[in-house]
A and B are shown apart, each in its own frame.
Chain A
Amino acid sequence: MPRKPLHLLALALLSGALAACGSDQTTMYEPGVYKGKQDAAASEEAAERRSGELRSRAERGFTDR
């Protein structure tokens, strides 16, 4: 007897939720897929650019002079 209203409610909720999926206010959960702001310093090029300097820095800082 009380099933129908519940079904309706569930349907309403589900469609609401699905609609929310389309909104850019909602973040989808995909394990390991970053959802935040892009970090320019995280790119291949940025890493490539600094790698030489970081390498010599490590040698300078950590070897027993």
Chain B
Amino acid sequence: MKLRKKTAAAVEQPARGLLAKAIGRRTFLHGSGLAVGGLAAASMLPTGMVKKAHAARKIDRDVEITTAKSICTHCSVGCGVIAEVQDGVWVGQEPNFDSPINLGAHCAKGASLRNHGHSTRRVRYPMKLVGGRWERISWEQAVEEIGDKLLQIREESGPDSVWFAGSSKANNEGAYLQRKFAAFWGSNNCDHQARICHSTTVAGVANTWGYGAQTNSYNDINNSKCIIMCGSNAAEAHPVAMQMILRSKENGAKLVVMDPRFTRTAAHADTYVRFRSGTDVALMWGILYHVFENEWEDKEYIRQRVYGMDKIREEVAKWTPDEVERVTGVPEDGIYAVAKTMAENRPGTFIWCMGGTQHTIGNNYVRAYNCLQLALGNIGVEGGGANIFRGHDNVQGATDVGPNPDNLPGYYPIAEAGWKHWCRVWDVDYDWLAGRFDQAEYDDGQGGKIKPMNSGGITVSRWIDGILEDRENIAQRDNLRAVMMWGHAPNSQTRGPEMKRAMEMLDMLVVIDPYPTVTAVLHDRKDNTYLLPAATQFEQAGSCTASNRSLQWREKVIDPLFEHKADSEIAYLLAAKLGFADEMFKNISVENNMPQPESVLREINRGTWSIGYTGQSPERLKAHMRNQADFDVVSLKARGGELDGETYCLPWPCYGTPELKHPGTHVLYDTSKHVMDGGGNFRANFGTERDGETLLAEDSWSKGAEIQGGYPAFDSDILKQLGWWDELTDEEKRHADGMSWTTDLSGGIQRVVMKHGCHPFGNAKARAVVWNFPDDVPLHREPLYTPRYDLVEEFPTYEDRKIFYRLPTRWESVQARDYSREFPLIHTSGRLVEYEGGGEETRSNPWLAELKQDMFVEINPADANDSGVRNGEMVWLEGPEGGRIRIKALVTERVGRGTVFSPFHFGGHFQGEDLLSKYPSESSPYVRGESTNTATTYGYDSVTMMQETKTTLCRVIPA
């Protein structure tokens, strides 16, 4: 027995192998408090954080704890969440093992969702700037003042002088009402994150084979033999998708990662290919070169189901291994290995994300990926597909039915036919609605004139030019004078310094968001600036569409905190003030100013025949959520139970009425299944022939189709010709006569066509050649800011255009100057696992913020030495358009020589200055930093106006 005393020296020091070796991104950065070789004492809390001891909450075991099922709001994987609630307080979060999507799993963001339920960093009540200071106001005052200003601007400059950013983080009902709100206001000037996320994908794949969506699913990757990831860092951006990818890999699938950066996803690859950012088309043609050379293509599939592959072959022939190496930097053996792996391991799936979309020729990248998959016969098969991982939790849904400037919910055109369709659904007079718009005509950019009701509105990538551009150059009545950021961060858009100037020129700036966002602080505005607290998705019920097209239903977890209100309620209040609530909510039930989500979804169901959002009634979705455990993880099909045979949460298209019980479509264009089993084929959407060649499928049809071969999309005339018309009921006939499968509001045409095993949208070939795009065959073109200026002559960009989405848009005049000497490094950007999007919400969550406290730039050791930069020191990263950011250098081989990487989630600093004092008190995020987009540059896709954020130039110098 000894007295209590013992010296440290007597303690044997065991080897601390694991810890001692660990030097990573987190240990380097002021991060998770890991102290190698020292005591792990907590660091001081960041300024402004209230220091809390353990357990701010109380859990009283005697009071009932209820659970609510929701869906994570931080990415498109759609992980199921179980929230435990006591007395209206969200006290616990449990894994949802039953969800076939995540099996209980989450990433850092999903595992910290509960913070949204008690965060004090949110905007608590409506506020406005008065002489540069935030002052609390009431909701009534806010709606009055904002409404009056909007009406005044409308009076003076027309409805198009107001621009709305809607949100991919709103649920389907909220996003749909945002689009409807813009329509009833009388403008197409609304947009959301999809524009700067996957717009090039949506346009590229829809124009190739039918629908603008992921063809298969995360789960279906379990069927793949080969997984190609190009420009996707799922380990950080879609972490739970990696569960499926790694499972598939364990079962023998080959994992190939192609990326300019050795990502955490690449760390798990069998093969990693590093190439120069901005050269994907050349890379794809390099792979296809070997495919054609070795006759690895699926000739029968191409004959039956692909149009225009010969033209692709001609282009590919130019991309010899030497040429590919010259442009992309990848030697022949690397490319050959990928081609061989893909050829020998079919079905293979191709995954791409922002790395493949955010480019001036993003639509070419996407179509080049498509061509490769089509050549190998990998589309429309289980285990194959274009597995496009979308970004926000409901970006797919917001693209399908939300605030898009160039189409209406369900991708109906903004041409007269589309508006008339929706006016019938909305039960409003078309002429009344048309009268809400500016009646003048403006340059359509193609030598004609067009009315604003029919011309694509200003996009989220370019709203700043709607303010900054000279009025005469814009194809609408006036400049933008008011901007409403309704669930949208500005720091995810390029050209920060110009954005600041644009914000300062506005008559009014409104933020509708749970958090202040960078919009609240970037500018030096003194007044006419409002913050309206919007509820999170945990404070309301509604549906959201995951990347795989499944519509999951969220239950409400808690009532809105403080004075937050749901997007739908805000839409109602504003519409009421602006005088069109009666028309807009004519057939929607509204209780206490809150449009009921079930009722809104039913209206969506009534109108979206074109994409099969019609079968997913709220009742069916809720039944799916109740029976999650019945669904198989690989096929997403229910095995037994009340939903036997249906696919989890009815991935669209789920055609026909809910009563028809279409099971949803797991894999698009899959001919091995009957259409009523989720089978299909490529869509006939581009005519039936071109230059004498048929565009319809040849000798290929979906299982059980009575028309054995290609056929066009159905309308009442075709039904009559086929003698199927009388199978419609009298009631159906009344709606269907003179209508097509997309405009028949009874669903009769779809029902009868599918009964005959046919696909309502016809049966055609996929188009390898998209003749309505600037480059019908995808071409490589050098980025506007290229480090290889020597290649510009051979691979120049496009000519400038006078009007494109209402704005002059430059390509060649930007590329005309060589910046590569002064700005020698490629600057590319991307995600971190801890944060989402502009990051305000996640940087306000202490459980996440603690893990990543500094904005940084990854730079290769060689480049660091060249520029005299030391690891961990502050540097200036300067872009060629003058924006500069002061951030930490992280010297690492993760990036190759000549390329630097920075994450885009930071905000709250601007060109060296901390904007903390501009936040409403207590609502600042815990972590702030420079936005990478302060230093990014001009550059837009030639089809969709996608911004270029993946390939620009910069220089890095010690600060």
Contact = CB atoms under 8 A, between A and B. Distances in A.
State if A and B touch, Cβ cutoff 8 Å: yes
Interface of A: 17, 21, 26-30, 60-61, 64-65
Interface string B1-34: 1111110000000000000000000000000000
Contacts of B247: 64
A65 B4 contact: no
A27 B4 CA distance: 7
B104 A61 contact: yes
B846 interface: no
A60 B247 CA distance: 17
Interface of A is mostly: loop
Contacts of B1: 28-30
Given A27-B4, A28-B1, A29-B3, A60 B97 contact: yes
Contacts, number: 26
B3 A61 contact: no
Contacts of A27: 4
Interface of B is mostly: loop
Which 7 residue pairs of A and B lie closest in terms of their CB atoms, listed nearest first? A29-B4, A65-B633, A29-B2, A60-B97, A65-B103, A64-B247, A28-B1
A61 B4 contact: no
Contacts of A21: 3
A32 to B, nearest CB: 13
A23 to B, nearest CB: 13
Chain B, interface residues (CB within 8 Å), range: 10 to 19
Interface string B229-264: 000000000000000000100000000000000000
A27 B100 CA distance: 53
Nearest to A21: B3
A58 B4 CA distance: 41
B104 to A, nearest CB: 6
Given A17-B3, A29-B5, 18 more contacts: A21-B3, A26-B4, A27-B4, A28-B1, A28-B2, A28-B3, A28-B4, A29-B1, A29-B2, A29-B3, A29-B4, A29-B6, A60-B97, A61-B97, A64-B103, A65-B100, A65-B103, A65-B633
B92 interface: no
Contacts of A29: 1-6
A64 B95 CA distance: 15
A61 B95 CA distance: 9
A29 B6 CA distance: 9
Contacts of B97: 60-61, 65
Contacts of B100: 65
B617 to A, nearest CB: 28
Contacts of A17: 3
Nearest to A60: B97
26 contacts: A17-B3, A21-B3, A26-B4, A27-B4, A28-B1, A28-B2, A28-B3, A28-B4, A29-B1, A29-B2, A29-B3, A29-B4, A29-B5, A29-B6, A30-B1, A60-B97, A61-B95, A61-B97, A61-B104, A64-B103, A64-B247, A64-B633, A65-B97, A65-B100, A65-B103, A65-B633
Contacts of B633: 64-65
Contacts of A26: 4
A65 B633 CA distance: 7
B97 to A, nearest CB: 6
Nearest to A30: B1
A61 B247 CA distance: 15
Nearest to B632: A65
Nearest to B103: A65
A26 B95 CA distance: 45
A60 B103 CA distance: 9
Contacts of A65: 97, 100, 103, 633
B569 to A, nearest CB: 38
Contacts of B2: 28-29
Contacts of B103: 64-65
Contacts of A60: 97
A64 B245 CA distance: 12
Nearest to B104: A61
A20 to B, nearest CB: 9
B106 to A, nearest CB: 13
Contacts of A30: 1
Interface in B32-52: none
A33 B625 CA distance: 51
